[in-house]
């Protein structure tokens, strides 16, 4: 076999393997998509071709599921968490990136480490405290606890973006007559804007998908979408068509957001450890 | 416009000494170049003057004001950075206008002065562009325009030409020189390129290991290097350095060859320095010493002959029409009134 | 304001938030782990019993040891499988081009998916009556038809591992593609010119240079595998019996369902210990670079 033929064959095998990988990757997602448009009866018959229906979607918003309330909770909790976390994280990230602080490494490692603390460890004392303060089953409580997972990501990710802004530019602005705060406002924030947006979206996805905190802290008023899934299962047995419709409402907005920040996704997740 | 005075300026990071107890007076309207290899402390010195780096000790004066505790914005200096430090999210116009804007200059005056500065550096037609849409040379000009848009007390330039390609660098060098003569503002210029230093400077401060080795006009530095470091650093190809001794008014190489008469007392150990231009090449038998050619290079504008005897190699610059080949024999003579003698231990020049 | 003051003011809010939301609960959990800590018994949260909770877990709780074993096997399997498969996929996709870049874009999707939803999706697929898997295998390999996947301890565990691997492969693949891209192409070309076969190039040049990234990947995945809760909760809820009960799930059950918050906190702290080692290793990777 000539080298050329060999290479063509190798490439063919590779493409085949990639196609198999795509198939495996997409099947569970497509499965949910299909079920969400099926009638209750079709779910049990495994049909690939069926008469699609849209009625699952209004159904999940009706009583007793009232997904609208959960959707609202999820959106509010994730949004407020992000709006609190990003400004605080940006300030800290700038300082970590540009100055030498006493105990800087200790602080950075600690912040990094808190992200790895199992959620169950964090939630036990919070449950006790919130029970005493009356914060159980409130959005405020959920937001507070969510900050514990979102902050380390946000600080490290934004620090990575600010590290990438050339120091030259800031120094030029200082020599040109800006104070430090003017430098931050006029130079750093505009240049870091895409990074801040990315970090914001990233944290939004994390907060949106958060499960354990919501499971333990909420039961009625502040229930979020992922917990909504669990309640479905408890309430009505397994209504797969409705579960799937709810699943789509949970995942599709996150797909859209993730695709927007695709380029930075990995970088953000590993917080600059891999580059 | 102002003079800049450094008194016992020191910068240390832990054990590492960046700038070691240096004093320097830069005159009003002077163009001073800080020249040295990388890591010699020249950039650190400049950054301390700008206020971007805090001195460990010593004083910095700009005009009649001690500025040690002033923030960069309050020092009234303008700086051109090695990587230009342009604001990528602003247009060329906004970049140039920024120093005026943060100082609250009225709009109409900003417009007037930005346009004047842009015209001076031939950027007038690019004012609406963002920096990324400009070539390297144009970005360099934006940085320059941003510096000259106001009249600061001092210009600071940190290797401003080092990111340009060789051809553009020559053009920009001339433009810079022209501009500096026109503006007559005290300028401190950092470079590792000796040609930039020689061509632009009123005076050059040659630095090594955080210490100024010699301060003088380009002529002085070239013709009377104060020590072995300056002698070896300035000039291309560098000065030939030959070790030997002085006996009865003659320089004798360590190999025992009586090379050339020198005007100095007898010494056991000495280093003789001679620039390639001051080594005359002639046909075999017609000069002071006959040598074999180790390498012959033709640069177009001149020829370079590396000749060798024993373990000693010497570079000579020959006539551009000279044609020789490797292993040919020629004769060289050193021009007696252009020789430099150094003490090999201290490296210091021996007065003759 | 001078930078010397400003720089500390800027980090202050973040430090306070981290202290309040992460460090305090960590310390408070440690305190609780030494108490009787019954949710329904007032005062028991301040009733200390020394190391009794830990001793109880070690000596009298087979369920604790069961969850340790489950978590350990789960972690080893998911880390190994995910890393190997992701490395393979990364090598397939790394060359780039329009087709491969498009596939890379798709990889984001499973990772943006809530783990809880992944759990639901797999439970659905492995339903013995109308799951996709049942249909697929029922046709291809008839003896596997109508197997109750999630009712069998070993099979249920396998399904949990599968769901985890499925959810994590895309992310690790993207990281490894990034790692592959950062290997200087000329070292690979030099090896090719020197006469190395594709496999030799991979083994002698690519793999050693990818090692730091692989290290990070293995550590990160280990940390997340050890913590696993969401999918398991939605997929098997620890069952059948306790066959898929991970440590997180065990802690959740003891703390929240049985109200033994002191005991749960002590087990949670036992779980923190391996995390400390892993985090230390991870921090070394992060801070080793200048």
Query: Which residues constitute the domain of residue B14?
Result: 4-233
**Partners of residue C286 in chain A, C-beta under 8 Å:** 112, 271-273
B97 and B166 in a single domain? The answer is: yes
B71 and B198 in a single domain? The answer is: yes
- For residue A78, being part of any structural domain is answered with yes
Q: Give the tokens for residue C67.
A: 């969850």
The pLDDT of residue A272 is 42
Q: Over 60: is that where the pLDDT of C290 sits? A: no
**Partners of residue A252 in chain C, C-beta under 8 Å:** none
Of B203, B233, B263, which residue is a domain's last? B233
B101 and B212 in a single domain? The answer is: yes
Residue B225 in contact with residue B214, Cβ under 8 Å?
A: yes
3-state SS class at B183? helix
B86 and B50 in a single domain? The answer is: yes
B116 and B172 in a single domain? The answer is: yes
| CA separation for the pair C148, C126 (Å, rounded) | 8
Tell me: cis bond preceding A64? Omega within 30 of 0 counts.
yes
3-state SS class at B23? strand
**Partners of residue B72 in chain A, C-beta under 8 Å:** 171, 174-175
In this complex, do B73 and A176 lie within 8 Å of one another by their Cβ atoms?
yes
Superfamily (CATH H level) for C34-104+169-287? MetI-like (1.10.3720.10)
B79 and B173 in a single domain? The answer is: yes
pTM: 0.83
* Out of A237-246, C93-102, C142-151, least confident range: C142-151
In this complex, do A176 and B156 lie within 8 Å of one another by their Cβ atoms?
no
Predicted confidence band at C161 (pLDDT cuts at 50, 70, 90)? Answer: very high
A134 and A32 in a single domain? The answer is: no
d(CA C21, nearest CA chain A) in Å: 5
In this complex, do A171 and B50 lie within 8 Å of one another by their Cβ atoms?
yes
Q: Give the tokens for residue A257.
A: 């957001």
Question: Residue-wise pLDDT tens for chain B (352 aa)?
Answer: 689 999 999 999 888 999 999 999 999 999 999 999 988 999 999 999 998 888 999 999 999 999 998 888 889 999 998 888 888 888 999 999 999 988 889 999 999 999 999 998 889 899 999 998 998 889 999 999 999 998 899 999 999 998 888 888 898 899 899 999 898 999 999 999 999 999 999 999 999 999 999 999 999 999 999 999 999 999 889 999 999 999 888 898 888 888 888 888 888 899 999 999 999 999 888 888 889 999 999 999 899 999 988 888 999 999 989 998 999 999 998 988 889 999 999 999 987 5
B303 and B203 in a single domain? The answer is: no
A162 and A31 in a single domain? The answer is: no
Of B233, B263, B298, which residue is a domain's last? B233
d(CA B87, nearest CA chain A) in Å: 6
Contacts 24+ apart (CB under 8 A), A1-8: none
Q: How far is CA A239 from CA A16, A42, A52, A75, in A?
A: 36, 12, 17, 24
Of B172, B204, B233, which residue is a domain's last? B233
d(CA C157, nearest CA chain A) in Å: 18
Domain ranges of chain C: 34-104+169-287
B208 and B133 in a single domain? The answer is: yes
Among C8, C14, C42, C171, pick the best mutation site for testing chain A contact (most A Cβ within 10 A): C14
In this complex, do C261 and A215 lie within 8 Å of one another by their Cβ atoms?
no
- For residue B352, being part of any structural domain is answered with no
A118, A247, A275: residue with CB nearest C271: A118
The pLDDT of residue C226 is 92
CATH code, domain with B292: 2.40.50.140
Element (H, E) at B283: strand B279-283
In this predicted complex, what is the ipTM?
0.88
A220, HSE (Cβ side, Cα atoms, 13 Å): 1
Nearest to A165 by CA among A90, A270, A263, A262: A90
Would an 8 Å CB–CB cutoff place B102 in contact with chain A? Answer: yes
Q: How many domains does chain A have?
A: 2
- For residue A165, being part of any structural domain is answered with yes
- For residue B64, being part of any structural domain is answered with yes
A217 and A254 in a single domain? The answer is: yes
B149 and B178 in a single domain? The answer is: yes
A121, A243, A262: residue with CB nearest C120: A243
A170, A175, A190: residue with CB nearest B79: A175
Query: Which residues constitute the domain of residue A196?
Result: 59-270
- For residue B349, being part of any structural domain is answered with no
| CA separation for the pair B127, B111 (Å, rounded) | 11
B52, B88, B98: residue with CB nearest A171: B52
The subunits that touch chain C, with at least 3 C-beta pairs less than 8 Å apart, are A
B129 and B277 in a single domain? The answer is: no
B211 and B176 in a single domain? The answer is: yes
Q: How many domains does chain B have?
A: 2
Predicted confidence band at A275 (pLDDT cuts at 50, 70, 90)? Answer: very low
A92 and A224 in a single domain? The answer is: yes
């Amino acid at each position: 076999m000539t080298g050329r033929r060999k290479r063509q064959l190798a490439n063919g095998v590779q493409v085949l393997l990639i196609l198999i990988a795509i198939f495996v990757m997409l099947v569970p997602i497509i499965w949910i998509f299909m079920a969400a448009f099926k009638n209750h009866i079709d779910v049990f018959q495994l049909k690939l071709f069926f008469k699609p229906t849209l009625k699952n979607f209004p159904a999940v918003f009706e009583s007793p599921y009232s997904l609208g309330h959960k959707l609202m909770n999820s959106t509010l909790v994730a949004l407020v968490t992000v709006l609190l976390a990003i400004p605080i994280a940006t300030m800290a990230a700038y300082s970590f990136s540009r100055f030498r602080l006493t105990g800087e490494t200790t602080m950075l490692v600690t912040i990094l480490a808190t992200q790895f603390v199992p959620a169950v460890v964090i939630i036990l004392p919070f449950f006790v405290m919130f029970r005493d303060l009356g914060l159980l089953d409130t959005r405020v409580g959920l937001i507070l606890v969510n900050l514990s997972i979102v902050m380390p990501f946000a600080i490290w990710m934004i620090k990575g973006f600010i590290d990438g802004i050339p120091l030259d530019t800031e120094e030029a602005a200082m020599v040109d007559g800006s104070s430090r705060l003017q430098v931050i406002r006029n130079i750093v924030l505009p240049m870091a804007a895409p990074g801040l947006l990315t970090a914001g979206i990233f944290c939004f996805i994390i907060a949106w998908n958060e499960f354990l905190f919501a499971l333990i802290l909420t039961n009625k008023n502040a229930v979020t979408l992922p917990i909504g899934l669990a309640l479905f299962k408890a309430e009505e047995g397994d209504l797969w068509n409705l579960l799937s419709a709810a699943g789509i409402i949970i995942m599709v907005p996150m797909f859209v957001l993730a695709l927007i920040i695709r380029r930075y996704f990995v970088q953000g997740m590993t917080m600059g450890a891999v580059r | 416009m102002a003079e800049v005075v450094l008194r016992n300026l020191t910068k240390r990071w832990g054990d590492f000494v960046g700038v070691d107890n240096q004093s320097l007076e830069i005159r009003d309207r002077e163009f001073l170049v800080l020249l040295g290899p990388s890591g010699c402390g020249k950039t650190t010195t400049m950054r301390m003057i700008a206020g971007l780096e805090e001195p460990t000790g010593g004083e910095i004066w700009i005009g009649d004001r001690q500025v040690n505790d002033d923030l960069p914005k309050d020092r009234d200096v303008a700086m051109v950075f090695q990587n230009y430090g342009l604001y990528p999210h602003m247009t060329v116009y906004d970049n140039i206008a920024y120093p005026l804007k943060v100082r609250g200059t009225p709009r109409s005056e900003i417009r007037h002065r930005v346009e004047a500065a842009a015209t001076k550096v031939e950027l007038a037609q690019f004012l609406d562009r963002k920096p990324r849409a400009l070539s390297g040379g144009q970005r360099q000009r934006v940085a320059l325009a941003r510096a000259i848009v106001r009249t600061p007390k001092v210009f600071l330039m940190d290797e401003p030409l080092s990111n340009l390609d060789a051809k553009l660098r020559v053009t920009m060098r001339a433009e810079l020189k022209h501009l500096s003569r026109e503006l007559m503002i005290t300028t401190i210029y950092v470079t590792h390129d000796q040609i930039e230093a020689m061509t632009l400077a009123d005076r050059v401060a040659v630095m090594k290991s955080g210490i100024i080795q010699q301060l003088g006009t380009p002529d002085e530095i070239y013709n009377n290097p104060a020590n072995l470091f300056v002698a070896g650093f300035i000039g291309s190809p560098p000065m030939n350095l030959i070790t030997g001794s002085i006996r009865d008014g003659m320089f004798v190489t360590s190999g025992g060859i009586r090379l050339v008469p020198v005007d100095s007392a007898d010494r056991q150990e000495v280093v003789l320095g001679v620039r390639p231009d001051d080594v005359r090449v002639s046909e075999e038998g017609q000069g002071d010493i006959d040598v074999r050619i180790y390498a012959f290079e033709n640069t177009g504008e001149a020829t370079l002959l590396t000749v060798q005897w024993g373990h000693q190699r010497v570079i000579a610059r020959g006539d551009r029409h000279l044609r020789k080949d490797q292993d040919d024999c020629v004769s060289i003579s050193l021009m007696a009134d252009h020789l430099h003698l150094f003490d090999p231990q201290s490296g210091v020049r021996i007065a003759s | 304001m001078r930078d010397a003051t400003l720089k500390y003011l800027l980090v202050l809010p973040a430090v306070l938030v981290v202290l309040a939301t992460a460090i305090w609960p960590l310390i408070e959990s440690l305190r609780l782990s030494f108490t009787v800590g019954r949710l329904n018994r007032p005062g028991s949260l301040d009733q200390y019993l020394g190391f009794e909770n830990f001793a109880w877990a070690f000596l009298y709780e087979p369920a604790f040891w069961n969850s340790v074993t489950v978590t350990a096997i789960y972690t080893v399997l998911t880390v190994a499988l995910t890393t190997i498969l992701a490395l393979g996929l990364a090598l397939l996709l790394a060359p780039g081009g329009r087709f491969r870049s498009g596939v890379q874009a798709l990889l984001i999707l499973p990772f943006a998916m809530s783990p809880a939803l992944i759990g639901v999706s797999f439970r659905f697929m492995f339903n013995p009556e109308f799951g996709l898997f049942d249909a697929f295998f029922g046709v291809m390999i008839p003896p596997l038809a109508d197997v109750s996947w999630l009712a069998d301890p070993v099979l249920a565990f396998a399904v949990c591992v599968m769901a985890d691997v499925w959810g994590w492969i895309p992310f690790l693949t993207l990281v490894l593609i990034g790692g592959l891209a950062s290997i200087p192409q000329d070292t690979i070309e030099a090896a090719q010119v020197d006469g190395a076969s594709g496999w030799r190039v991979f083994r002698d040049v690519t793999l050693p240079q990818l090692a730091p990234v692989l290290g990070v990947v293995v550590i990160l995945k280990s940390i997340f595998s050890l913590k696993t809760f969401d999918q398991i909760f939605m997929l098997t809820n620890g069952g059948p019996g306790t066959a898929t009960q991970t440590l997180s799930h065990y802690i959740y059950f003891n703390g929240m369902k049985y109200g033994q918050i002191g005991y749960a906190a002590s087990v949670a702290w036992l779980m923190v210990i391996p995390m400390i080692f892993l985090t230390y290793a991870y921090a070394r990777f992060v801070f080793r670079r200048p």
